[in-house]
Amino acid sequence: MKLHFPDLEPSLREAIARTGMLREVPAGETLMRSGQFLKYTMLVAEGRIRVYREGETEGEIFMYDLEPGSACALSMICAASAKESKVMGKAETDAVVVMLPIEEMENLMREYKSWYRFVVESYRSRFEELLEVLDSIAFHSMDERLQLYLAKQSAKLGNSILQLTHQEIATDLNSSREVVSRLLKKMEQRGLVSLHRNAVEINFPV
């Protein structure tokens, strides 16, 4: 864990390795579901996990990505307070996560300042990402949301070619494939993107 958690002191990394459980997760597998009671908090060692808010009857909206070196702040809150999970987490790529028992998280909070800072920073960064989602929905039209989404994904992956289908984009934006396809076609006509089979190439500055 030294590579992905450089801010955690060696003795803390050893404690996490000793009490946490490594779990290999294939792409597409769901790690947590809405309504589930969580006994562990989740740290991402490898790969990428996507977190969604599910509707009461159907549909879901993308909230944020969890990448190596990050933790799911919402799982921390739900596990610590014995509340049902309000989100769904799914592996976008093959991943390795550290499942840390909630009682151990509380022990580490008392013993290590670096763990306290890590938890607080996890809360802060997730809160900022949730505000971005709220702002996007409340203050931007769907074509603006689509361009912002593509820009964010490109910046995060460090690649101008995004291996995403129109349906995957629509799911993340809580829209329909038909709407996303139409907007992407308009963006292609304006020279902002190039459309390929199951991929979108970004041509605008990110």
pLDDT score of 58 = 67
Q: How many C-beta atoms lie closer than 10 Å to residue 72's C-beta?
A: 27
Task: Answer whether 0.85 is exceeded by the pTM.
Answer: no
Residue 158 burial by CB count (10 A; 0-12/13-18/19+): exposed, middle or buried? exposed
* pLDDT tens profile 82-117: 778 878 899 989 999 999 888 888 889 889 988 989
The CATH number of the domain holding residue 112 is 2.60.120.10
In whole angstroms, give the CA distance from residue 195 to residue 87: 31
Q: In terms of residue numbers, what domain contains 46?
A: 10-138
In whole angstroms, give the CA distance from residue 146 to residue 129: 16
Q: Final residue of a domain: which of 138, 157, 188? A: 138
Smallest Cα–Cα separation from 183: which of 200, 160, 163? 200
27 and 102 assigned to the same domain: yes
